[in-house]
Chains A and B, each alone.
Chain A
Amino acid sequence: MVKPILKLITVAKEAGVVTRKYPYDSPLLTEEFRGKIEIDASICWGCGACVKACPSNALTIRESMDVRELVYFAGRCIFCGRCADVCPTGAIKVTKEFELATEELEDLEQVVIHRKVKCPICGKHFVPQPLGRYVCEKCAKGGVPTYMMVCPECRRKVGVKKMIRCKGG
């Protein structure tokens, strides 16, 4: 009866104290640990690639008349990091933040607001400004920026009109 207990005491002595003092001490975070993501609003385009990639719909897009909102809800995020992989601008950073406990679900939201470009012909808002600017810059090299900031529908109409004029002489 005594022998196993003695054995146990020896084992316990060898192991020492293993309990971590967590809230009063640093957490045990490994190199690979992924936590909440952070969206850098200054470089995000509002393209929505991350929304397509997100397996749990933690990232969503809310469209309204002249604004596109990229909404990140950490309460649904599974910390997979796919959004950071697909983001073309590198706006999404995976942080090591995991202390997210809260009483209000609202606290877990992060919203990036994008104003949309206004079409000079029909006045419709159609694409987030940073994305529009990027496309313009890319296409300006090819030399076709004339109708770039016109909405797709108006662009089609204008194109057709132009074509008719050309054909008709």
Chain B
Amino acid sequence: MRVRTPRALKRSIWVFHLNTGSCNACDIEILDVLAPFMDAERFGVKLVASPRHADVALLTGPITRETLPKVVNALRAMPRPRLVLAIGACAVSGGIWHDSYSVIGGFPRLKKILEENGVVIDRVVYVPGCPARPEAIIYGLAVLVGLLKKKVRKEVKEAGER
């Protein structure tokens, strides 16, 4: 079976909100994105209740040990192409909880666990921020579907002579 590439995702994006133990601030921002003020439905973004219907998982939180099996199950239930938008410092790298004993510590580490369990993630876009602004989430969605180009790039500078 040929898997559609994420670029072929030209239709409306259906999103599933996956809270993996976040402090709820990022989740409130997601609600902001979906509410009429920022109105992500302008881009066809629609919240669905089941991961089986979703194109994109809006993943927030540092993935606590308690939620890990459920998160793996939810992501496995998603059809391919499986896209993930990791929202907030927690989901990007563990954020302020990065060295806590009770969390996996962000999506990159979860991705390894998923790979070991045979769950392929086709594309992931990281949205930093604590919490990520509604605009930042919309920007992330736009980058995910190829509407906008990413802005940031790694910077290496040498300390200047005076």
Residues of A within 8 A of B37 (CB): 18-20
Please report which residues of chain B, range 88-133, place their CB below 8 angstroms from some CB of chain A when the two chains form the complex: 89, 92-96, 98-99, 108, 123-130, 132-133
Compute how far the CA of A36 lies from the CA of B151 in the bound complex, rounded to whole angstroms: 13
Residues of A in contact with B, size category: 35 or more
Residues of A within 8 A of B139 (CB): 23, 98-99, 101
Cβ of B150 < 8 Å from any Cβ of A?
A: yes
Is A112 engaged at the interface, CB distance under 8 Å to the other chain? yes
Q: Does A113 touch B at the CB level, under 8 Å?
A: yes
Number of interface residues of B (CB under 8 A): 46
> Which chain A residue has the least Cβ–Cβ distance from B107?
A105
B127 touches A101 (CB 8 A): yes
User: A101 with B125: in contact, given A57-B98, A108-B152, A109-B154 (CB under 8 Å)?
Assistant: yes
Nearest chain A CB to B146 CB, angstrom units? 11
A64 interface residue (CB < 8 Å to B): no
Closest Cβ–Cβ distance, residue A26 to chain B (whole Å): 10
**CB–CB A44/B159 < 8 A:** yes
Which one of B95, B151, B159 lies within 8 Å of A99 (CB-CB)? B151
A28-B117 Cα distance, complex, nearest whole Å: 42
Inter-chain contact A56/B89, CB cutoff 8 Å: yes
Q: Which residues of B contact A108 (CB under 8 A)?
A: 92, 126, 128, 152, 154
Q: Tell me, in angstroms, the Cα distance from A73 to B94 when the chains sit together.
A: 12
Given A18-B36, A42-B160, A75-B92, verify A110-B155 contact (CB < 8 Å): yes
Question: Smallest distance from the beta carbon of B157 to chain A beta carbons, Å?
Answer: 4
Task: Indicate whether A148 reaches chain B with its CB closer than 8 angstroms.
Answer: no
The answer to whether B160 touches A77, judged by C-beta atoms less than 8 angstroms apart, is: no
**Does B2 reach chain A (CB closer than 8 Å)?**
no
Chain A residues closer than 8 Å to B133, beta-carbon distance: 27, 98
A76 located at the interface, meaning its Cβ lies under 8 Å from any Cβ of chain B in the complex = yes
Within 8 Å of chain A (Cβ to Cβ): is B42?
A: yes
Residue of A nearest to B158 (CB): A113
A130 to B157 CA separation, bound complex (whole angstroms): 14
Which residues on A are within 8 Å of B, measured CB to CB?
18-20, 22-23, 27-28, 36, 39, 41-44, 46, 55-57, 73-79, 98-103, 105-115, 128-130, 133
A to B CB contacts below 8 Å, 11 in the list: A23-B139, A28-B135, A42-B159, A43-B160, A76-B128, A79-B129, A79-B130, A98-B133, A99-B136, A100-B152, A107-B152
* Additional A-B contact list (13), CB under 8 Å, known A23-B138, A102-B125: A23-B148, A27-B135, A41-B157, A41-B160, A56-B98, A76-B94, A76-B96, A98-B129, A99-B151, A101-B128, A103-B123, A108-B154, A115-B158
